[in-house]
Amino acid sequence: MALAPCRECGKEVSSEAETCPHCGIKKPVVPPMPFRGSASGDGGEPGQAAQSGDGPDVEKPEVEKIVSNVLKVGGVVLVGWLILSGKFSDIIASFTANVVGACELQTLELKPDAFLINGEMDFGYTAIVVIKQEGRAGNATLEVTLSSPEGDFTKQRTVHLVDGQQQTISIKFPEPTINSDNATAEARCSTF
């Protein structure tokens, strides 16, 4: 039998007493409870009972689990909203431009041309592309695809650009003949 303070008058009573011999309150000693806190985070140190009136008692690990789940759901909702609103791609593009750098296509022109290949005259097309680096300096890879009735031809060129630098790149395609009608070109630029 241990002595403990009465919850009403504070005088020492037996922990097994049904009533306090000093003030008469029933169940004067509340057995110690494991750490319990309120939803607001109050509840004292481990091993102390929570103060009544603080709100609903919830075990600390349960509070952590609830907060963790709320944060997870909130994160999923935020990412979903960003994707559906179209802002996600803007954020990724801004991140890429500021951290990695971004290559931007300015112009693409395709014109019939003649070249010397292995000492012989050959006809084909030249793609003239102007690219510009935005954000950090880095290597930019330009990929141009020429489509004609004779087939699709793809060539790449890698250049190093600094922020704001603009460069004109010519890529020659001797593969299709100059008589090839309806030749078109597409270009892509990426940084790494």
- Spell out the per-residue pLDDT of the chain, length 192, in tens: 688 888 888 899 888 888 999 888 888 887 765 555 554 444 445 444 444 445 555 556 788 888 888 888 888 888 887 777 877 777 766 665 555 568 889 999 999 888 888 888 888 889 999 999 887 788 889 999 999 888 899 999 999 988 888 999 999 988 776 666 788 999 999 886
| Same domain as 126, residue 169 | yes
Three-state DSSP class for 169?
strand
| Same domain as 105, residue 76 | no
The total of structural domains in the chain comes to 2
Q: What is the pTM of this model?
A: 0.48
CA 105 to chain centre: 26
What range defines the domain where residue 116 resides? 101-191
| Same domain as 71, residue 139 | no
| Same domain as 125, residue 63 | no
Residue of 114, 129, 185, 183 lying closest to 161 (CA atoms): 129
Q: Is residue 145 part of a domain?
A: yes
| Same domain as 172, residue 128 | yes
| Same domain as 126, residue 72 | no
| Same domain as 137, residue 55 | no
**Cα–Cα distance, 57 to 97 (Å, whole number):** 49
Q: Is residue 106 part of a domain?
A: yes
Q: Is residue 16 part of a domain?
A: yes
